[in-house]
Structure 1
Amino acid sequence: MAFTLPDPLSSAPLPFDTVIDVRSPSEYAEDHVPGAISLPVFSDEERAKVGTIYVQDSPFLARKVGAAILARNAAAHLEGPLADKDGGWKPLVYCWRGGQRSGGFATILGQIGWRVDKVEGGYQSYRRAVVKALYEGELPHRVVLLDGNTGTAKTDLLHRVAARGGQVLDLEGLANHRGSLLGNMGPQPAQKGFESALIQALAGLDPARPVLVEAESSKVGERLVPPALWKQMLAAPRIALHAALQDRARYLARVYDDLATDPAQLNGLLSQLIRLHGRERIESWQAMAAAGDVVTLAGELCLHHYDPRYAKSRRSDRPETPLEITLDEDGLERAADSIAAYLASFSG
């Protein structure tokens, strides 16, 4: 038997206890069906070995060698991660295209007595559905953008609105990037992995209620915002946050305090701006970083780098609701209340 995965935007749970990805670790790391665990039947090296035998020797020998490797790895999984599964456990297994890797592992599980199924078309069928939803279709969600210059606490306010029951989509969190030169938060997911995380987040949102999304460019770090969502963002009404420059500078100094304690890393990032601002200005900014004058540096970056770019890229042909805010704790709480109230009225 083979199980057809539902629409990736569906929030309905799958009728299985565990979804198992039997592809190699690198394939799983790039992307996988949300919620799936990794139990590879080939390591990356073993997969390459079998593929080489298939091309250079014969498909028969490749299948023979591959079957032996699969059996050894299946035994390790049965004695390890699956050792505590009882007779009522119901797994769903998939590989790249629903072929021999998932078929072989599913056969072993089925012979034990478990009610096992495999994904029709494997990971490829899931990936085609994601591409159709994010690149070829139209999302049913209604987006409201949270806009504002750098340092207006957009991400912070997203989380505060979510705590008040509002629906939010945190693109920077999904992409693991703060969306600016200084926004690197560590390795970003692969594009496919980002899209799977995005589709999973969208599946958990009610299309009948508005979704608050931080205004971004078409890329978050190196990850592309898929066309279906980008189209919604371009047409969305905006809440435009406004805060005093000095207030934003102090806020940024708090948010990026990790960079403030690593002047060498900060200077390296600033060096990337030489072609835009010239060596003299960058050296003056680097001197501020070295002296620990992060608030002044943040204000300079806002005034000369971020604000002009926001002004150039911001669309002015969409409905916009201005919101003056202060960036102290009380001010952020008041702003979150106002945004939540706006979303509630927008629902009506």
Structure 2
Amino acid sequence: MPYLETVTDISPENLSRYDAIIDVRSPAEFEDDHMPGAINLPVLSNAERARVGTIYKQESPFRANRIGGALVARNIAHHLETALADQPKSWRPLVYCWRGGMRSNAMATILSSVGWPSGVVKGGYKTWRREVVTGLDHEDRLLPIRLIDGQTGTGKTALLQAIAEAGGQVIDLEGLAHHRGSAFGDFGEEDQPAQRLFESGIWDQLRRFDLTRPVFVEAESARVGRCRVPRRLWRSMLAAPRIEVRAPADVRADFLLGAYADIIEDPARLAEALARLKGLQSGETLAAWQELAAAGSYRTLAAQLMTRHYDPLYARSRKRREDAPVEVVELESLDEVALAAAARRLLSGH
């Protein structure tokens, strides 16, 4: 008899019992958001899902189910012959759809009939989404955030990475949002995730952390590019003690050249990023910066952007907070050795 398990516990520990988490929803649904680590093996394509939905509403639920059933069977057969063709007998998948209904049960029933012990997430994706919303929007307890703050070019993101490598708990909002949080922030070819997928990434990290220990986050605005920082995390960031990183101006300029090398190597992206500062800087200043960019005077450009744009912005934002840093990290270098040493010092104090 095929073995089919209904799964209500979606904790990381319970999910680790499965060899794969399969999202059988359409590619568009999957792209919008999905459970962490899931792979997309849709039983209906975007177009097929739209077609079946239209038939259901405009013609007949029975006809929609009949047509949809045939499409689902063909698509599952295709996955068995391709993506799942080499899975061993011991393989154990967990399947989910939107509500834990027809799509996931159809896939799981066939997989279990093959001989793979299969699970279905009760309530489907909506079970995961409820957990995310509860954890990030409805829960009022503040998180033990420690803000890594400092002027542009002080290596805050690199320091976060060093903290993580040293065993600290870190949420890299810029990494999760695929954006550096400034006019120069986009990652080029990599689009920003949908808001719900951004939130899923944050919650998946938080639910794995020990919240009796600090969680280090870079000081950001309420939005990182198009992604909004969830309510609970944002409130926690506003209330969090601030660790300020400082470095000499020449060190910061050199660091920026490396950190933004992808933009420097693309003249059109650099010109577009500078154009986004219209209204924040005079036309004369922006024209001068465009000339520096066109001439390849990138270090001079980086130094002027720091002193005339980003440093004044930073000073104004710090005045609004009206709180002194609880710790200052003075760095004469931003190389890996210096950042690793700073990370160890921060962790030893917490």
> How high is the TM-score relative to the length of structure 1?
0.92
Compute the displacement of 1:205 (Å). Answer: 2.4
Compute the displacement of 1:82 (Å). Answer: 1.9
Secondary structure of the structure 1 residue equivalent to 2:120? strand
CA distance in 2, matches of 1:233, 1:11: 28
Secondary structure of the structure 2 residue equivalent to 1:228? helix
Per the alignment, residue 252 of structure 1 pairs with: 256
CA distance in 2, matches of 1:284, 1:342: 40
Contact kept? 1:145, 1:237, Cα under 8 Å = yes
Contact kept? 2:154, 2:247, Cα under 8 Å = yes
Contact kept? 1:3, 1:120, Cα under 8 Å = yes
What whole-Å deviation, never above 9, does each CA across 1:139-198 have from its counterpart, x for those lacking one?
674221111010101111112222222222211111111111112113111111111111
Per the alignment, residue 155 of structure 2 pairs with: 153
Whether 1:298 aligns to 2:281 is no
Letter in 1 for 2:39: I
Contact kept? 1:235, 1:318, Cα under 8 Å = no
Letter in 1 for 2:286: I
CA distance in 1, matches of 2:220, 2:49: 39
Secondary structure of the structure 2 residue equivalent to 1:111? helix
Compute the displacement of 1:11 (Å). Answer: 5.1
2:245 aligns with one of 226, 241, 245: 241
In 2 relative to 1, CA 63–328 (structure 1 residues): closer, same or farther, beyond 3 Å? Answer: closer
Compute the displacement of 1:308 (Å). Answer: 1.8
In 2 relative to 1, CA 235–160 (structure 1 residues): closer, same or farther, beyond 3 Å? Answer: same
Structure 1 range deviating more: 118-127 or 237-246 = 237-246
1:262 aligns with one of 245, 262, 266: 266
CA distance in 2, matches of 1:76, 1:68: 13
Alignment of 1:57-68 (within 5 A): 57-68=59-70
In 2 relative to 1, CA 257–222 (structure 1 residues): closer, same or farther, beyond 3 Å? Answer: same
Secondary structure of the structure 2 residue equivalent to 1:239? strand
CA distance in 1, matches of 2:300, 2:191: 29
2:177 aligns with one of 166, 171, 175: 175
What whole-Å deviation, never above 9, does each CA across 1:309-331 have from its counterpart, x for those lacking one?
222223232652122212353xx
Contact kept? 1:140, 1:207, Cα under 8 Å = no
2:119 aligns with one of 113, 117, 120: 117
Per the alignment, residue 329 of structure 2 pairs with: 323
Contact kept? 1:153, 1:327, Cα under 8 Å = no
Percent identity of paired positions between Structure 1 and Structure 2: 48
Compute the displacement of 1:294 (Å). Answer: 1.0
Secondary structure of the structure 1 residue equivalent to 2:279? helix
Per the alignment, residue 345 of structure 1 pairs with: 349
Secondary structure of the structure 1 residue equivalent to 2:282? helix
For the aligned residue pairs, the C-alpha RMSD in angstroms reads 2.0
CA distance in 2, matches of 1:287, 1:86: 61
CA distance in 2, matches of 1:89, 1:200: 24
Letter in 1 for 2:110: I
In 2 relative to 1, CA 337–328 (structure 1 residues): closer, same or farther, beyond 3 Å? Answer: closer
2:198 aligns with one of 175, 181, 194: 194
Secondary structure of the structure 2 residue equivalent to 1:275? coil
Contact kept? 2:142, 2:236, Cα under 8 Å = no
CA distance in 1, matches of 2:269, 2:87: 48
Per the alignment, residue 307 of structure 1 pairs with: 311
Contact kept? 2:166, 2:343, Cα under 8 Å = no
| Aligned positions, number | 342
Contact kept? 2:142, 2:235, Cα under 8 Å = no
Contact kept? 1:98, 1:118, Cα under 8 Å = yes
Secondary structure of the structure 1 residue equivalent to 2:215? strand
In 2 relative to 1, CA 151–56 (structure 1 residues): closer, same or farther, beyond 3 Å? Answer: same
What whole-Å deviation, never above 9, does each CA across 1:269-289 have from its counterpart, x for those lacking one?
111212121211100110111
Whether 1:221 aligns to 2:238 is no
Compute the displacement of 1:344 (Å). Answer: 2.1
Contact kept? 2:94, 2:118, Cα under 8 Å = yes
Secondary structure of the structure 2 residue equivalent to 1:274? coil
CA distance in 2, matches of 1:20, 1:99: 14
CA distance in 1, matches of 2:222, 2:13: 26
CA distance in 2, matches of 1:107, 1:12: 21
Secondary structure of the structure 1 residue equivalent to 2:94? strand
Contact kept? 1:145, 1:233, Cα under 8 Å = yes
In 2 relative to 1, CA 44–205 (structure 1 residues): closer, same or farther, beyond 3 Å? Answer: same
Letter in 2 for 1:218: A
Contact kept? 1:166, 1:340, Cα under 8 Å = no
Q: Which runs of 5+ in 1 are unaligned?
A: none
What whole-Å deviation, never above 9, does each CA across 1:45-93 have from its counterpart, x for those lacking one?
1111101111121100000000000110111111222223344333221
Per the alignment, residue 95 of structure 1 pairs with: 97
CA distance in 2, matches of 1:166, 1:4: 31
In 2 relative to 1, CA 336–115 (structure 1 residues): closer, same or farther, beyond 3 Å? Answer: closer
Whether 1:279 aligns to 2:283 is yes
Contact kept? 2:24, 2:40, Cα under 8 Å = yes
